Structure 1
Amino acid sequence: MKNEFVTLSQELHDGIAQDLVGLGFSIDNAISHNSDSDTRSELRAVRFEITELIEKVRVEIHRLRKLPSYSINSTTHITFELNRVFNEILRNVEEHSRATSLSITVTDNGIGGATVKDGSFGLVGIQERVKNLRGETLIESDQKGTKIVVTIPLDTNDSSSDS
């Protein structure tokens, strides 16, 4: 029975989860290439929903694999809740702030060592997504931890710019 759950979790990971990630990349690309602010806003809302679905699938994958709760469930719960927090922050920025750029900084107090040169697809993926949004990524890492700063321009296309 455990092998069936492991197989199912692998199929979820290799199938649905990867499809959702690919769909997310496609929507990111559509957002960055669309000049209509209403359409971009709708696409961003769909993108946030896809991100939440991806997290739900990941939670289910971990549950099926029956990984120890101290290492995965707590991290998964934190990730899921922070995802919701960031989604709400981003919605508020978009709807109320009139900002022209957005910067997100994440720091940790770990052992460092995070570099793109390590072949880390996660960091490369972050940089590619930010680049698609015409933004910049700064990654600093030393023995005291890692700091990642993402800065993206926010298209206002309202009264501030005429095309």
Structure 2
Amino acid sequence: MKWTESTVIYRPAAEVQAAIADEHELMQWSAWPAATGYTCAVDGDGTSIGSAIVFRDDSGTEQGRQHLASVSPTKVEYRLRNRGPAGRDMTPEVDFRIEPLDATTTRVHLDFRNQVPLPPPLRQIAGRLIGRKVRALHVEDLRLLKDHVEQNHPAAPSGTGS
């Protein structure tokens, strides 16, 4: 599975990057905790390479981690490990590319890559089923990021979409 989703946010690139690269702030806008029902907590300071968001189920069992892998003014990279089909580990990669359009407007591209750890015939089927839900959550994540960063920003045009 591989795709890119994008949105335009009416805020400076540094503000957008900060909302993505700080795991504490990311958890304020991310769609994933509600969608999965997992409890999420940051392991580490939330801004240093190697910090991680830890996902736990109702019993407290760790279901996955989202590690902060790289941060620059134009890109934030996350590497994940979570339980996939048949309890096999999945290792998705999520990169947020941050493209300043001008001093107050930023385009964000969410790049996703993952290979379902199943034999080829099952991989395609599972990939299609999982891919629909995951891609919809990525679209929702970008919408929530946009709302979070633009909150109370008078320069944001009303009714703008992704």
Between Structure 1 and Structure 2, the one with more strand by share is: 2
Taking CA–CA contacts closer than 8 Å with sequence separation of 6 or more, which of the two structures ends up with the larger relative contact order?
A: 2
TM-score, with structure 2 as normaliser: 0.33
Between Structure 1 and Structure 2, the one with more helix by share is: 1
When Rg is computed on C-alpha atoms for both structures, the one with the higher figure is 1
